[in-house]
Structure 1
Amino acid sequence: MPRQISYRWRLRELMAARGMFTVAELMPHLTERGITLSSSQVHRLVSGTPERLSLPVLATLCDVLDCTPTDLIATSAQNVPARRAAGEEAPINLAARRPTRVRLTPEGVSGDAGGVRAVDDPRLRTLRPSGLEVRRVVGRSDLPNLLRPRHATRPPV
């Protein structure tokens, strides 16, 4: 089972615990230890989670904050369920795929229409001597396509 690794950058929390609340308070400590970063670079380190970080900067931050890299970077790992391969067949639920019988009446749809509500919509009616007929209903969006008149329809009354 594959594992998903995540981490949390805790620089701002550790700075606050040491009484440093702004980038301007951190910059002199970095400069006196030989790390020259612009204020915008230090701001991005403090406010966001860095994608890449050089080891000298990491070591300097640990020295300034009197912590270890483990304190600065909190990691976690969890198991992730494996994804199916592209050619792998999933089990088919035949009960979910089997259509249910539906009857259209002038009052609307009767029976379990497989997700189709009982709607009395004049656009969905066709007039026949034997009544309204639907051959198969799969879902709500299929209903207008499945109404097939045997002769020309008359406008609804």
Structure 2
Amino acid sequence: MRWNLRMKAAEHGIWKSTDMRRQLAAAGLEISAGKMSALWTGTPTTIRLDDLDVICSVLDCDPTALLIREPDKVAARRPEQQQAASATSDTSVVVTPRFGRPRSEPPL
């Protein structure tokens, strides 16, 4: 996924993170300067859905406008995952259930 906040903000005439932060505050979302800087300059690893809702409201967009899929990156990772899956399927492990007392007795 690619984070597209700066481009969407620029489409609405917001060129600085401080301006975006002011607009978010006016909409009811108080964001610290550090968090706003992280949202503005990079791709967040996590974002609260409530925060995303306010950002989308301010920018008058859908979350799909802020989160852009990158199928090429997913396809590039796929061969590694398929190789790992085939390696684990070759070694089959038979699990047999244990009957009787599976736990130890409590101390007296």
Q: TM-score, normalised by structure 1?
A: 0.48
Q: Is residue 50 of structure 2 the alignment partner of residue 56 of structure 1?
A: yes
**Equivalent residue number for residue 145 of structure 1:** none
* Residue identity opposite 1:17 in structure 2: E
Q: How does 1:23-38 map to 2 (within 5 A)?
A: 23-38=17-32
**Equivalent residue number for residue 132 of structure 1:** none
Q: Which structure is higher in RCO with an 8 Å CA cutoff and minimum separation 6?
A: 2
Q: How does 1:37-76 map to 2 (within 5 A)?
A: 37-76=31-70
Structure 1: gaps spanning 5 or more residues:
1-6, 89-157
Tell me the SS of whatever aligns to 2:70: strand
Structure 1 runs of 4+ aligned residues shifted over 4 Å read none
What is the distance in 1 between the residues matched to 2:53 and 2:22? 16
What is the distance in 1 between the residues matched to 2:66 and 2:88? 40
Tell me the SS of whatever aligns to 2:28: coil
1:86 Cα deviation (Å)? 6.0
CA RMSD of aligned residues (A): 1.7
Q: How does 1:62-141 map to 2 (within 5 A)?
A: 62-77=56-71, 78-79=74-75, 80-81=78-79, 82-83=82-83, 84-85=86-87
How many aligned residue pairs are there?
A: 82
Tell me the SS of whatever aligns to 2:2: strand
Structure (1 or 2) with the greater helix fraction: 2
1:37 Cα deviation (Å)? 1.0
* Residue identity opposite 2:29 in structure 1: I
Change in Cα spacing, 1:87 to 1:36, as seen in structure 2 (3 Å) is closer
1:76 Cα deviation (Å)? 3.2
Deviations 1:42-74 (A, max 9, x none): 111011100110011101110111110001101
What is the distance in 2 between the residues matched to 1:25 and 1:33? 13
What is the distance in 2 between the residues matched to 1:21 and 1:68? 20
Structure 2: gaps spanning 5 or more residues:
91-108
What is the distance in 2 between the residues matched to 1:69 and 1:87? 38
